[in-house]
């Protein structure tokens, strides 16, 4: 397929991927090892009618992946104040639930895991699903004040509903040591904000204890994953490691252990 050329508008760089531009109503992204997996997942979401994700269109003459552009408002980095308000959290959780429901039944092709790469820590007995796995403010598109769509599916892979909700809450509540929260979040009630997301997602898929167990798995497993990525993938992964993400993870684990009983009460 031939795609029209035009002025390239540079889009904000992510933590890892750079060189993403907009041309007209399309986004052009550097082709990567994960591109085929992303294309397969996005094609599935399109086939089941999920409208909150880009459509994969192919590759342009420069070899870049071409996707549809999702118009809307995306919180910046640091996060815009409007995106830190309590009222946005239920919409984010409902968007994640819609994504999970649309993903049910999709089977991603097997991938060859790099030697030494830590395997994801997932709960025993919970069904696996494929998900975007990186629902950060910077990857969420808002329309009319509510969370509407998601971008940047580079990390899409197998997970579980509870782990993915915990990962999303980690970014949005946020779930971390107070020392690592941006100023806009420091006056927030963590327990109350987490409950807003938990209730909006729905309590029919897992219990409070299962959710908090999943959060613990996610937090404890991330240190080895990030250390491996920094050493073996370099680039943005190495930059984040050099900036101290390993210490942030360790503080998060210690903080979560200290406040878990409080979170149980908040979610009761």
CA 211 to centroid of chain Cα atoms? 17
The shares of helix, strand and coil residues in the chain, as percent rounded to the nearest 5, are 45, 10, 40
Give domain status of residue 75, yes or no. Answer: no
Residues 143 and 23 in one domain: no
3 located within any domain:
no
Claim to verify: residue 116 and residue 42 sit in the same structural domain: no
DSSP state of 188: S
In a domain, 4, yes or no: no
Write down the pLDDT at residue 258.
98
Q: Per the domain annotation, does 2 fall within a domain?
A: no
H helices of 60-120, where? 89-103
Domain termination residue (choose one: 17, 40, 68): 68
Residues 118 and 194 in one domain: yes
- The last residue of one of the domains, among 46, 68, 90, is 68
Co-location of 240 and 261 in the same domain: yes
pLDDT at 13: 65
* Domain enclosing residue 109, as ranges: 81-267
pLDDT in tens, the chain (268 residues): 788 888 899 887 666 667 899 999 999 999 988 899 999 999 999 999 999 999 999 999 999 999 999 999 999 888 999 999 999 999 999 999 999 999 999 998 877 778 888 888 899 999 999 999 999 999 999 999 999 999 999 999 999 999 999 999 999 999 999 999 998 898 889 999 999 999 999 999 999 999 999 999 999 999 999 999 999 989 888 999 999 999 999 999 999 999 999 999 999 9
Q: Do 117 and 202 sit in the same domain of this protein?
A: yes
Q: What DSSP designation does 113 have?
A: P
| pLDDT tens-digit map of 142-185 | 999 999 999 999 999 999 999 999 999 999 999 999 999 998 89
Q: Is 73 inside a domain boundary?
A: no
The beta-strand segments (E) located in 112-222 are 129-131, 140-143, 146-150, 157-159
DSSP category for residue 110: P
- The domain total for the chain is 2
Rounded Cα–Cα distance for residues 227 and 243 (Å) = 12
**CATH code of the domain covering residue 132:** 3.90.1200
Report the alpha-carbon distance of residue 33 to residue 170 in Å, rounded.
Answer: 27
Query: Is residue 209 located within the same domain as residue 148?
Result: yes
Q: Tokens at residue 115, please?
A: 């030697």
Q: Are residues 133 and 243 in the same domain?
A: yes
77 burial via Cβ count (<10 Å: 0-12, 13-18, 19+): middle
Q: Mark whether 27 and 87 lie in a shared domain.
A: no
Using CA atoms, how far residue 17 sits from 8, 55, 161, 171, 236, in Å, is: 17, 19, 25, 19, 8
**The predicted structure's pLDDT at residue 73:** 96
């Amino acid at each position: 397929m031939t795609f029209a050329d035009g002025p390239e508008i540079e889009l904000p760089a992510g933590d890892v991927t750079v060189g993403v531009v907009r041309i007209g109503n399309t986004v052009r992204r550097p082709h990567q090892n994960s591109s085929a997996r992303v294309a397969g997942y996005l094609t599935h979401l399109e086939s089941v009618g999920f409208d909150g994700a880009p459509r994969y269109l192919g590759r342009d003459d420069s070899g870049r992946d071409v996707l549809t552009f999702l118009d809307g408002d995306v919180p910046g980095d640091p996060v815009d104040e409007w995106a830190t308000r309590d009222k946005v959290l239920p919409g984010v959780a409902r968007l994640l639930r819609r994504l999970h429901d649309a993903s049910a039944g999709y089977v991603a092709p097997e991938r060859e895991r790099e030697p030494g790469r830590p395997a994801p820590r997932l709960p025993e007995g919970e069904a696996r699903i494929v998900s975007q796995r990186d629902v950060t403010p910077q990857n969420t598109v808002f329309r009319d004040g509510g969370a509407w769509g998601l971008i940047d599916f580079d990390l899409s892979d197998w997970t579980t509903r509870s782990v993915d909700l915990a990962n999303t809450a980690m970014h949005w509540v946020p779930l971390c040591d107070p020392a690592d929260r941006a100023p806009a979040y420091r006056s927030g009630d963590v327990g109350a904000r987490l409950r807003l997301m938990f209730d909006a997602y729905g309590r029919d898929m897992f219990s409070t204890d299962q959710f908090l167990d999943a959060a613990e798995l996610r937090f404890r497993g991330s240190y080895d994953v990030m250390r491996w990525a920094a050493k073996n993938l370099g680039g943005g992964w190495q930059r984040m490691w050099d900036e101290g993400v390993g210490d942030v993870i360790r503080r998060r684990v210690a903080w979560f252990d200290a406040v878990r009983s409080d979170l149980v009460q908040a979610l009761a």
